[in-house]
Copies of this chain bind each other. A is one copy, B any other.
């Protein structure tokens, strides 16, 4: 543990976030997502939900403002969208980042996952809870 680093972020996850660059994407996958079937780096986060992780990550990760959309959600195809989306919006709001999200149909979402930088395999039990964050530029 370190000062100022939330405990949800493992050493390996922090290293991964630091190695990501402008335009790279990270997938926060729910507990049923086939994370190991993609040929990508998988960071296990067993026992954790996505909201607590997303909140911790957004303390450090800027979102991409060069593109129209920097957050991608997996759509359930129903009129009533997953409740957890409301939590995501609150976290994005309070992050101070300029965000814009887009729901993707399930198989389009899978398609996008083939190009992510890394996958965080959480134990989120909510269905259709997967979310992709696109990294922006750090201006110092």
Q: Which residues of A contact B (CB under 8 A)?
A: 1-5, 7-24, 29, 31-37, 44-48, 52-53, 59-62, 117, 123, 125, 127, 137-140
Q: Interface of chain A, helix or strand or loop or mixed?
A: loop
Task: Give the copy number.
Answer: 10
A43 → B minimal CB distance (Å):
10
Contact partners of A18 in chain B: CB under 8 A? 1-2, 5, 10-11, 14
Choose from B15, B22, B37 the contact partner of A34 (Cβ within 8 Å).
B22
Q: Report the bound CA distance from A37 to B127 in whole Å.
A: 29
Whole-angstrom CA separation of A37 from B115 in the bound complex: 9
- Verify B60–A52 contact, CB threshold 8 A: no
